[in-house]
């Protein structure tokens, strides 16, 4: 795969007010105690991969590890909750209490560098990039921009999800005379929604018991309006969060609420995908971990389900990458290093991503081993504009991500564009590092 251009600026690590704020927050809790190293053949891996598709893919990673490093016991420490909304606070408590898992799931960018590297919870793994030739096989821009601090690299990517995908139930659309081409405008999307509404079908499946899922619908819609250049401008402060274009995206997001399943707040993201499979809703805008659910349920691509870029976002790829980091003072360092080496191996990347819906982060895998969706996403990654996700912790500090989630929660109820925009303007002002030129 050729490397595409990533529209992302690295979190400023020095004199960054947001990081200083984060650091002082961390200083309020206990300083990490030294973890006890042990030579037990064991490794504790922390993640939030518990949905059907996620768990199956994680299992594939474990299987490869067990094959490559026989005899090491894997402790599968998961905390359920899509997007890591429940897992990350648990992890934070463990890290600040000096009780780290050996290795944990993390998004690159602000999440990795701001929440884990800056407070000193991670050990660099730069040597693995040399010993295992990863400096040639992983996309340099992602490694340098999103996972490196002071020339040290802090994570290895298991895979790269595309966040801006609109999934649909093929048969339900056919039944309602709706045809989807290889891209979709907002007008086409709302025309389809109206047809479905007239037929008594909630067009848009949302499962936002974790609010991030609705924030993702907004993130995708925002990109559809501002485009990749606007995205970069927003996260660099060149464009303000109350810009007319942002407000236009908010209005479209408000309009989408008219077509959402009424039980959305009782469902998780994967339950919404299951509602789509069962024909209870027609569309769902969700990252391609949804593909993992389709695969797990043996749904056939094109026949049973289809996909297109979220309206207006054709030509852009929102990166939601999954990395794993090494704990400073990892209780089982040797086994943890082996775990990271294993994740970076071609074998693991092929086995895992085929089930997860993401594409391998390595650029030298055998493409023929992947299905149609993966081929589509690999092509998109190669030729499209790459932007970092805010909802999944890459593009902005955790506090801004939280402000976005809070803004979305309020907006779904009051649909007040000015309130939503002003809240984001305030959040961006409070964390000015998101808007440095």
243 vs 322, beta carbon nearer ligand GAL: 322
88 in Cβ contact with 104 (< 8 Å): no
99, two tokens: 């009780």
Q: For ligand GAL, which is the closer residue by CB, 25 or 79?
A: 79
Give me the residue whose beta carbon is nearest to ligand GAL.
Answer: 82
Determine the Cα–Cα distance for residues 80 and 209; give it in Å rounded to an integer: 12
- Least Å from the CB of residue 232 to ligand GAL: 21
CA 22 to CA 76: how far, in whole Å? 29
CB of 343 to ligand GAL, least distance (A): 13
**Residue 26 and residue 399: Cα distance in Å, rounded?**
13
Nearer to ligand GAL, 49 or 294 (CB): 49
Q: Say if CB 162 and CB 377 are below 8 A apart.
A: yes
Binding site for ligand GAL (CB under 6 A): 48-49, 54, 82-84, 161, 289, 320, 322, 392
- Residue where the block lists tokens 């499979």: 277
What is the distance between the alpha carbons of residues 314 and 19, in angstroms, rounded to a whole number? 34
Looking at 200-358, which runs of residues are DSSP E strands?
Answer: 283-285, 305-309, 316-327
Q: Is the dihedral of CA 225, 229, 233, 235 positive or negative?
A: positive
- CA angle 419/420/421 to nearest 5° reads 95
**Structural contact between residues 139 and 319, judged by C-beta atoms closer than 8 angstroms:** no
CB-wise, 35 or 340, nearer to ligand GAL? 340
Residues 6+ apart with CB under 8 A from 342: 61, 64, 65, 68, 69, 348
CB of 361 closer than 8 Å to CB of 159: yes
Distance in Å, CB of 82 to ligand GAL, minimum: 4
Shortest CB 48 distance to ligand GAL, Å? 6
From 176, 205, 207, select the one nearest 276 (Cα to Cα).
Answer: 205
Quote the least distance from Cβ 290 to ligand GAL, whole Å: 9
What's the closest the beta carbon of residue 76 comes to ligand GAL, in angstroms?
A: 15
Nearer Cβ to ligand GAL (208/322): 322
The minimum distance between CB 305 and ligand GAL, in angstroms, equals 17
Nearer to ligand GAL, 239 or 290 (CB): 290
Task: State which residue, 235 or 289, has the beta carbon closest to ligand GAL.
Answer: 289
């Amino acid at each position: 795969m050729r490397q595409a251009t990533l529209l992302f600026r690295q979190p400023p690590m020095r004199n960054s007010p947001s990081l200083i704020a984060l650091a002082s927050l961390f200083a309020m809790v206990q300083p990490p105690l030294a973890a006890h190293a042990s030579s037990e053949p064991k490794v504790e891996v922390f993640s939030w991969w518990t949905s059907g598709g996620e768990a199956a893919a994680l299992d594939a990673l474990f299987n490869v590890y067990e094959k490559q490093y026989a005899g090491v016991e894997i402790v599968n420490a998961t905390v359920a909750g899509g997007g890591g909304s429940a897992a990350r606070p648990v992890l934070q408590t463990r890290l600040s209490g000096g009780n780290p898992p050996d290795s944990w799931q993390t998004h690159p960018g602000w999440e990795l560098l701001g929440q884990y590297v800056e407070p000193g919870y991670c050990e660099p793994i730069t040597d693995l990039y040399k010993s295992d030739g990863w400096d040639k096989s992983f996309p340099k821009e992602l490694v340098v921009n999103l996972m490196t601090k002071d020339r040290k690299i802090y994570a290895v990517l298991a895979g790269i999800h595309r966040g801006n995908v609109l999934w649909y139930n093929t048969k339900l659309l056919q039944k309602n005379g709706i045809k989807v081409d290889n891209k979709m405008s907002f007008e086409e999307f709302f025309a389809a929604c109206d047809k479905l509404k007239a037929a008594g079908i909630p067009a848009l499946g949302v499962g936002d018991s974790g609010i991030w899922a609705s924030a993702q619908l907004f993130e995708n819609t925002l990109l559809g309006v501002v485009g990749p250049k606007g995205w970069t401008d927003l996260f660099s402060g060149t464009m303000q969060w109350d810009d007319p274009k942002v407000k236009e995206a908010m209005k479209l997001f408000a309009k989408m609420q008219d077509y959402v399943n009424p039980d959305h707040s009782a469902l998780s993201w994967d339950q919404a995908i299951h509602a789509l499979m069962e024909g209870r809703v027609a569309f769902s805008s969700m990252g391609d971990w949804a593909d993992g659910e389709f695969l797990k349920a043996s749904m056939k691509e094109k026949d049973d389900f289809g996909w297109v870029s979220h309206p207006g976002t054709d030509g852009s790829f929102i990166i939601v990458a999954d990395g794993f980091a090494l704990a400073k003072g990892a209780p089982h360092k040797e086994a943890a290093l082996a775990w990271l080496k294993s994740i970076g191996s071609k074998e693991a990347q092929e086995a895992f991503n085929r089930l997860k819906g993401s594409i391998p982060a390595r650029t030298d895998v055998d493409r023929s081993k992947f299905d149609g969706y993966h081929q589509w996403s690999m092509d998109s990654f190669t030729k499209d504009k790459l932007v970092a996700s805010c909802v999944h912790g890459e593009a902005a500090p955790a506090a801004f991500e939280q402000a976005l989630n809070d803004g979305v929660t309020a907006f779904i109820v009051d649909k007040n564009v000015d309130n939503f925009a002003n809240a984001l303007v305030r959040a961006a002002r409070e964390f000015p590092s998101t808007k440095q030129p």
